[in-house]
Amino acid sequence: MKYMIHACPQRMWYVEEFLVPSMRDQDIRPDEIEIRCDTEGKGNLLSCMESFRDCGERPGGTWHMQDDVIISRSFGADTWAGDSLVHCGFGCRNFGPSMQEKGTVPMPFMWYSFQCIFIPNKIAGECAEWFFDQAVRRSAYETKIAEKRHDDWFFRQFMLERHPDDMVVNEMPNLVDHIDYLIGGTVINPLRRIKVNRAEFFTDGYLVEKLERKLKERNNG
């Protein structure tokens, strides 16, 4: 199994001190974890698409994770080798679409799930090819591309255009929770109106409370 953590330099302390150790505690091997840190400041959109292009050259699939999540107590067991479907491990009511659509659903009901999502490498490669060959040339996308973010939005547009009839899996319960508010807040969208965007179906809330205590201890020296 492969896990790719998409990170920015400001969050590497959390990735190295908390996220990766929590994955190792669940028997995920070091060689299964790849950290893609945007050290060159390309922005999460371009760095994401470049990573998708690399994934397209590999067999199988990859669990893509953001640097501001906490994993569930059964994350290692629940993230198996995958199949030919996209699996959404995170769902947030503030991101949409409808949280009523759970389990295996038609692609248009796919959650915005870039906090944790399994993407078959073939599909990731196709998305990168679509982005670099077509999306970057469309005037309708100029503003979003200039903002250097919206990677989840572009993936959704790609799926709607190229894989509209696919089925996807909205995982229940959610595999991760979103804890950016505990580690400095959002990095890519500081103007976001709603500052706290938690997983709708994360059932291990006590782990978030435990992490909050550990972070306070760290910050207090």
Show me where the domains of the chain are located. 3-219
Which of 93, 43, 90, 74 has its CA nearest to residue 194? 93
Distance of CA 154 to the CA centre of its chain: 13
What digits encode the pLDDT tens for the residues 5-42?
999 999 999 999 999 999 999 999 999 999 999 999 99
Instruction: Name residue, tokens 């580690």.
Output: 183
What digits encode the pLDDT tens for the residues 72-117?
999 999 997 667 999 999 999 988 667 888 999 999 999 999 999 9
Correct CATH for 3-219 of 1.10.287, 3.40.640, 3.90.550, 1.10.3430: 3.90.550
Question: Where is 45: in which H helix or E strand?
Answer: helix 44-55
pLDDT at 61: 96
According to DSSP, the residues that pair with 71 across neighbouring strands are 176
Give me the sign of the Cα torsion angle 26, 21, 197, 116.
Answer: negative
Distance of CA 116 to the CA centre of its chain: 4
